Amino acid sequence: MNKKQSIITFKVDDELFEALQNIPNRSEFIRSALVNALGSVCPLCNGSGMLTKNQKKHWDAFAESHTIERCDTCNEHVLVCLKD
């Protein structure tokens, strides 16, 4: 299921406006900056959405004793430890 996207606008001073002009994908840059500022970046992939080869090895080891399940209360995915 795709989440609905919304548009938001905000004012910036001339200096910030000029700095943003040469960024190839301003929308993605601003989204990333906001997510980072709000502390919602995945601690493993650092918001890239991809794991490096070494991160994947660590994830595979972690996943041997953990699973991803859907929370019955909030319906979000959560990590669950399989060890007692």
How much is the pLDDT for 62? 95
- Please check whether residue 45 lies inside any domain of the structure: yes
- Please check whether residue 7 lies inside any domain of the structure: no
- Please check whether residue 56 lies inside any domain of the structure: yes
- Please check whether residue 52 lies inside any domain of the structure: yes
Q: How far is 40 from 25, CA to CA, in rounded Å?
A: 20
Q: Structural domain of residue 74, as residue ranges?
A: 14-81
How much is the pLDDT for 15? 93
How much is the pLDDT for 2? 67
- Please check whether residue 9 lies inside any domain of the structure: no
Q: CA 65 → CA 18, 44, 60, 61, 68, distances in Å? A: 49, 17, 9, 8, 11
- Please check whether residue 2 lies inside any domain of the structure: no
pLDDT in tens, the chain (84 residues): 567 889 999 999 999 999 999 999 999 999 888 888 888 888 888 888 899 999 999 999 999 999 999 999 999 999 999 986
- Please check whether residue 6 lies inside any domain of the structure: no
- How many domains, the chain? 1
